[in-house]
Chain A
Amino acid sequence: QVQLQESGPGLVKPSQTLSLTCTVSGGSISSGGYYWTWIRQHPGKGLEWIGYIYYSGSTYYNVSLKSRVTISVDTSKNHFSLELNSMTAADTAVYYCARGPMDRKAFEIWGQGTMVSVSS
């Protein structure tokens, strides 16, 4: 059974770059046909899609975050990563990684989420 686990700093200073990793266990990130996705949730708010990457390396990002986001895959480590630069307090949120089959157009497996706070 595939599981996802986010890891990274819980606290980031304003203007710094956030780097998060989502480690895949129980399956290979190289297997085709999936969206490997990052989603965040501001405290007490709804879900916001950040972006996703295909196994081929193609990426798509939320237009509102596109200038600050990079998602990448490391097949040797079986994980994918999120980088979000120029962090501000408005980026304080729980960050989730998720996987979804492309033919289902939905995200079936989610990580537990990791809380990231932005503060000096």
Chain B
Amino acid sequence: SYELTQPPSVSVSPGQTASITCSGDKLGEKYACWYQQKPGQSPVLVMYQDTKRPSGIPERFSGSNSGNTATLTISGTQAMDEADYYCQAWDRNTYVKFGGGTKLTVL
């Protein structure tokens, strides 16, 4: 079955750039999206179709997807960005797959 792999944790200093990766076989040939989840809250979509931001998501969030890796980049990271981030893609265009999640710490 198709698997998506994320690093368990990423740390970044406030104001710096955070990059969260998601790896999967030929992931660049699929669309990837990203969700942000803060403690006790439902996930929020922050990126879809690799590079598109939903309405209301700050411009400091950007995405890319090529080869076997999709990346969510947060520029000028703020304390409010501290959260768990999950990538998601589709296996055979039918089955939904989530990555294991990455805990972003802003310190």
Category for how many chain A residues contact B: 10 to 19
**A47 and B43 form a contact (CB under 8 A):** yes
**A63 and B1 form a contact (CB under 8 A):** yes
Closest Cβ of chain A to B92, distance in Å, is: 10
Interface of B is mostly: strand
Which residues of A sit under 8 angstroms from B48, Cβ to Cβ?
104-106, 108
How many residues on chain B are close to A (CB under 8 Å)? Answer: 23
Of the residues A48, A63, A104, A112, contact of B98 by C-beta under 8 Å? A48
**B54 and A96 form a contact (CB under 8 A):** no
Q: What is the interface of chain A, defined by CB distance below 8 A to chain B?
A: 37, 46-49, 52, 60, 62-63, 96, 104-108, 110-113
In the A-B complex, the 6 residue pairs with the closest CB atoms: A106-B48, A49-B96, A106-B33, A110-B42, A46-B101, A47-B98
